[in-house]
A and B are shown apart, each in its own frame.
Chain A
């Protein structure tokens, strides 16, 4: 007798929800009690954020008794929070940069478009973004001192990841190398940068580097910060990539060599495609970390999204709406990071499915 094993039937979602929440007297009671507790706990928050909130007007309208959140403040300060000191009539430039970068991100996120053609595309996009923001090709020029807000958060994160990647790749390979000097240098670099907090790296980039440079030579502050962020993450990324390299059995390299492939060919054609595929979810995770870490740029006086939000509450005409400013910034960060983490989960499932077949 042979019989086919069928998977147990799966009830539709709403059906399972209903039976779970209101499946019996006990369940119904617990559900209602939980809902009640929820409403009781979050009612003040709801009142503050929605019911009593002030949506339009000036700081005076928000100062009345019993007023909740002052979203009018966000309305008035939205441009500053998003673009900081960028001249208002030129703010289409950072807006365009944000749009381009987001579009490219979506494109790069889809496995269908994965190819090495993305690399020159990204480099071109980042260089063009820089030229557009600075106004090198389309005057008037805008000093990097006046850049800020969301474009800084996005561009510093993405450029940090993009430029950290080749460095990290070399570091990871160097760490596996049999050449003692190269290996020691790579280990020293990685462990030093992983051993200090990012704030220390930023302070060095900001304060020590200009002193160390010969007088007269100067590197732009934002560029120095960008280099600091890039080096910092290259150390972490190198360790992620090294984990990937270890996934590929050593025998495959030897097989490649016996086929007459050189070192670079072996790495490029045999090792990396397998190694990187294995660590893509970890890289996405690290990228989320980069986005959140860019908020540390505030301590060296760069106006990233969080710093711009914080500063917007020091305007004497809109004094002290720190809570609203932080809530808004948190919402933007949440959208970015939540999207990233959902994407990571989706990608992991997809890649797992791909390897099983």
Chain B
């Protein structure tokens, strides 16, 4: 019996210490503030991103680059006037929404599709759509089709377990043409099926297809058709209930869109400082009354364009014609050029 009583005294002590430590840990917690207060106290915006070439990828020196990453930097300019005061963290599609909810991130710039379920049921607020994506068709050029409607009797590769299967079936039901679906697991197989001629076309979100096209053995033999079979508006997502933070996100995105509409670029922005146009004067903060009224740095739009560029520049630099992705602007151009980008007025 002796050995047990000594042993039990030992464990009882260990138990008490653990309990005391746990209590101390819980007691030391503070109350949460608004998102912006937290960001300012931390001196850093925490952004959740994904990993899609051109949209968010680390370069060889480990610095995040990409279309969505640049919007994160623009946000840091709005808040801190410093494009570097932002921290990007990769987050997989399964964990990104819970991670945002738990406060791991201040904002998700990971290509989340804005949907009604996410707005109502999951409790997220969405900023303006920064990228209009949609299911596309990547086809062999020698089929000689310019539009999806002209595809007849084609064999089309779809990813298993995605909404892509439904969308492509709906599409062909509408056009009244025949097609043969081939369901493929999302791995190298998907791409190989097109490369080897097993399928005539692949269907998937256009952003993914653009990246896949560059990995084919002869990328120039394939073309991404212009139409979109589904709507995938990709927007910044934040926790519901923080209107101030939402407005900062909104107007940061709008500033890049409005700058392009004005024709203001990273290079020529300084020449616009002497413009007589009252709209441009307000926009760039030459006339500081607007900024003072909304409580932001009056020159926040100027700073964004100076540090990151306008929407068009962000697009072209990361995914546009000059890049390996060679993505067409499609819907992602200003409404004045026939696209869907439209900024409310800065006044």
Contacts and interface: CB of A to CB of B under 8 A. Distances in A.
Interface stretch (A13-21, A35-43, A317-325, A348-356): A317-325
Interface string A201-225: 0010011001101111110010000
A92 to B, nearest CB: 15
Nearest to B187: A322
Interface in A179-230: 179, 182, 203, 206-207, 210-211, 213-218, 221
A316 interface: yes
Given A87-B62, A207-B98, A301 B53 contact: no
Interface in B1-30: 2-4, 6-8, 10-11, 14, 25-26, 28-30
B60 interface: yes
B6 A263 contact: yes
A303 B8 contact: no
Nearest to B25: A217
Interface string B108-138: 0000000000000000000000000000000
A282 interface: no
A215 B32 contact: yes
Contact of B57 (A253, A301, A315): A315
Contact of B60 (A80, A214, A322): A80
A232 interface: no
Contact of B211 (A145, A215, A319, A322): A319
Nearest to A170: B14
B52 A314 contact: yes
Contacts of A303: 90
B163 interface: no
A150 to B, nearest CB: 13
Contact of B11 (A79, A177, A317, A322): A177
Given A79-B62, A217-B28, A263-B3, A301 B90 contact: yes
B162 interface: no
A263 B2 CA distance: 9
Interface string A229-246: 000000000000000000
A88 B61 contact: yes
A104 to B, nearest CB: 27
| Residue of B8, B98, B102, B188 contacting most chain A CB atoms (<10 Å) | B102
A94 to B, nearest CB: 11
A143 B43 CA distance: 13
A98 interface: no
B10 A80 contact: no
A203 B3 contact: no
A213 B29 contact: yes
B116 to A, nearest CB: 24
B324 interface: yes
Contacts of B2: 257
B104 interface: yes
B125 to A, nearest CB: 19
B57 A311 contact: yes
Given A206-B95, A206-B99, A320-B215, A177 B7 contact: yes
Given A210-B103, A301-B92, A314-B52, A217 B29 contact: yes
A306 interface: no
B241 interface: no
Interface residues of A, number: 53
B93 to A, nearest CB: 11
A146 B325 CA distance: 27
Interface string A72-112: 00001101100111111000000000000000000000000
B59 interface: yes
B214 interface: yes
Contact of A210 (B52, B57, B102): B102
B323 interface: yes
A23 interface: no
A204 to B, nearest CB: 11
A316 B102 contact: no
B54 interface: yes
B33 to A, nearest CB: 8
A203 B26 contact: no
Contacts of A320: 214-215
A289 interface: no
B266 interface: no
Contact of B104 (A179, A210, A262): A210
A68 B209 CA distance: 25
A319 B62 contact: no
B167 interface: no
B293 interface: no
Contacts of B26: 214, 217
B3 A85 contact: no
A267 to B, nearest CB: 9
A143 B86 CA distance: 12
A80 B3 contact: no
A301 B30 contact: no
Given A211-B98, A262-B6, A301-B95, 6 more contacts: A83-B62, A215-B32, A263-B10, A264-B6, A266-B3, A316-B53
Lowest 5 CB-CB distances: which A-B pairs, in order?
Answer: A217-B29, A263-B6, A320-B215, A216-B30, A210-B102
